[in-house]
Amino acid sequence: MISERFQEWAQAGLIQIPITMAPPLRQVNSYLLRGPEGVTIIDPGPRTEVTEKEWEAVWRELEIHPSEISSIVLTHHHPDHFGLAGYLQSLTQAQVYMSARAYEEAERMWGIESTINEELSVLFRQHGMPDEWLMRLPQHLHGFIAQVTPFPKATFVTEDQFLTMGGRRWEPIMSGGHAPGHMSFYDRDKKIMICGDAVLPQISPNISLLPGSETHPLKAFISGLERLHKYDVRMAFPGHRSPFDYFHERISLLIQHHEQRLLRMEQLLRNEPLTGFQVCSSVFGTKLGIHQMRFAMSETLAHLTELVRQGRVAKQDSAGGKEIRFSARQQSCSAQ
């Protein structure tokens, strides 16, 4: 019998497991599928003492022995999805499946040779972020390491490689923008999409420009949405919030949301040249914690980069290249 705190989606053969994460989202959706091949866990959540105990409780309530877990599948590298994979692998000996690009991004962010603390601070300083924010970045980023330790030994999945989960074949679909190498999984027979954070109901996935990562993350995100829109989806199972049956409508709304944000930033720049931080403050405000401010700043830079790519905004180096400002062009051009 399924516990009341779990949602069982019988037609999809999925059990939705809410796993605790930090505010503002508070929960990430893990999914569990049973089949002849064993038990599959999708996106087990971040590693904390709380989440370790939550998974122990899940196994007790569902009467699952850790040895029955044959695979752990990850949609992307963010700690709230990737974090527990290595720890659970050590308990279950399960295979961990993800894209090679997603693993590369995990190493970029939290690997032994990661320099993201220094690189992100340099990037944000160039774009006008004050020291009062910059001094909080290293400790904030370092705080995620415990949530993703140990890294799993991963088996890399490509798009031409179907995965068997719950006794059915699932087609991997790669997209970017929110997370390079993000993989959604599609069951063509039942028209079901496990979409991680590629498409979320009610909230917009964060799109971040990060040093050494995607050059044009917003373009990558929109391209991924357009690709996902082509699939016939009856029900979508996201990484956050509830499963939903308006997959195509939600994709259209997300694209419209980013078009509107691009226009708003372009209009802000018609008055005077601004730094990325000034644009960020105008759009998102400054009454944010460091976590949300990092997201807001990286998303602002992703949109400004896209405006430059489309020829609608010019990027200006000043102060010997130490500060970057943006200004709107007199006439907007269509993206090529």
| Across 20-29, 46-55, 188-197, 204-213, least confident range | 20-29
The rounded distance, in Å, linking the Cα atoms of 68 and 90 is 14
- What's the pLDDT at 336? 41
Phi and psi at 182, nearest 5°, equal: -60, 135
User: Is the pLDDT score of 321 beyond 80?
Assistant: no
b/e for 39-70, b at 16 or more Cβ within 10 A? bbbbbbbbbbeebeebbeebbeebebeeeebb
Q: What average pLDDT does range 154-161 have in this prediction?
A: 97
- What's the pLDDT at 334? 46
Domains by residue range for the chain, with CATH: 7-255 (3.60.15.10), 257-310 (no CATH)
| Residue 161 CB-density burial (10 A; 0-12 exposed, 13-18 middle, 19+ buried) | exposed
What end-to-end distance do the CA atoms of the chain give, in Å?
55
